[in-house]
Amino acid sequence: MKNSKTNACITFEQGLPGYENLKYFSLDQPYKEYPFFSLDSLDHKDISFIIINPFQFNKKYEFNLPALQRSI
Protein backbone atom coordinates (compact mmCIF):
# COMPACT_ATOMS: atom_id res chain seq x y z
CA MET A 1 0.00 0.00 0.00
CA LYS A 2 1.48 3.32 -1.06
CA ASN A 3 1.22 6.10 1.51
CA SER A 4 3.38 8.81 -0.02
CA LYS A 5 3.87 11.70 2.33
CA THR A 6 6.59 14.30 2.15
CA ASN A 7 8.58 14.16 5.35
CA ALA A 8 11.03 16.94 4.63
CA CYS A 9 12.39 19.34 2.08
CA ILE A 10 16.16 19.38 2.03
CA THR A 11 18.55 21.90 0.50
CA PHE A 12 22.06 20.86 -0.49
CA GLU A 13 23.79 24.21 -1.03
CA GLN A 14 26.56 22.62 -3.12
CA GLY A 15 24.39 19.91 -4.64
CA LEU A 16 25.23 16.22 -4.41
CA PRO A 17 28.43 14.68 -5.81
CA GLY A 18 27.83 14.24 -9.53
CA TYR A 19 24.63 16.31 -9.31
CA GLU A 20 26.03 19.68 -8.22
CA ASN A 21 23.37 21.56 -10.21
CA LEU A 22 20.56 19.98 -8.15
CA LYS A 23 20.03 21.74 -4.83
CA TYR A 24 16.48 21.07 -3.67
CA PHE A 25 15.05 17.68 -2.74
CA SER A 26 12.05 16.18 -0.98
CA LEU A 27 12.37 13.15 1.26
CA ASP A 28 9.47 10.71 1.11
CA GLN A 29 8.78 7.28 2.52
CA PRO A 30 6.33 5.92 -0.03
CA TYR A 31 5.75 2.59 1.73
CA LYS A 32 5.70 2.78 5.53
CA GLU A 33 6.15 -0.98 5.89
CA TYR A 34 9.55 -0.88 4.11
CA PRO A 35 12.75 0.88 5.23
CA PHE A 36 13.27 2.69 1.91
CA PHE A 37 13.02 6.42 1.35
CA SER A 38 12.89 8.37 -1.86
CA LEU A 39 15.09 11.46 -2.20
CA ASP A 40 13.45 13.29 -5.11
CA SER A 41 14.97 16.26 -6.88
CA LEU A 42 12.72 19.31 -6.93
CA ASP A 43 14.97 20.84 -9.62
CA HIS A 44 14.63 17.96 -12.10
CA LYS A 45 11.55 15.75 -11.82
CA ASP A 46 13.25 12.72 -13.42
CA ILE A 47 15.99 12.45 -10.76
CA SER A 48 15.30 10.37 -7.67
CA PHE A 49 17.44 8.29 -5.30
CA ILE A 50 16.37 5.33 -3.20
CA ILE A 51 18.01 5.62 0.22
CA ILE A 52 17.93 3.85 3.58
CA ASN A 53 18.96 4.60 7.13
CA PRO A 54 22.12 2.48 7.51
CA PHE A 55 21.75 2.42 11.32
CA GLN A 56 18.56 0.41 10.90
CA PHE A 57 20.65 -2.44 9.45
CA ASN A 58 23.91 -2.01 11.35
CA LYS A 59 23.78 -0.34 14.77
CA LYS A 60 27.58 0.09 14.70
CA TYR A 61 27.65 1.81 11.30
CA GLU A 62 30.32 4.51 11.17
CA PHE A 63 31.55 6.96 8.57
CA ASN A 64 34.18 9.65 8.32
CA LEU A 65 33.17 13.07 7.12
CA PRO A 66 36.06 15.16 5.77
CA ALA A 67 36.73 18.39 7.67
CA LEU A 68 35.71 20.46 4.62
CA GLN A 69 32.22 18.87 4.60
CA ARG A 70 31.83 19.29 8.38
CA SER A 71 32.47 23.02 8.08
CA ILE A 72 29.70 23.58 5.53
pLDDT tens-digit map of 17-65: 999 999 999 999 989 899 999 999 999 999 999 999 999 899 998 888 7
**Residue extents of the structural domains in the chain:** 6-70
Give the model's pLDDT for residue 27: 94
- 1 falls in which pLDDT band (50, 70, 90)? very low
In the three-class reduction of DSSP (H, G, I as helix; E, B as strand; rest coil), residue 54 is classed as: helix
pTM for the whole structure? 0.73
The residue among 40, 45, 34 whose CA lies nearest residue 16 is 40
Give the model's pLDDT for residue 4: 52
Residue pair 52/36 in contact by the 8 Å Cβ criterion: yes
Statement: 6-70 belongs to CATH 2.30.290.10? yes
Task: Decide if pLDDT at 2 tops 50.
Answer: no
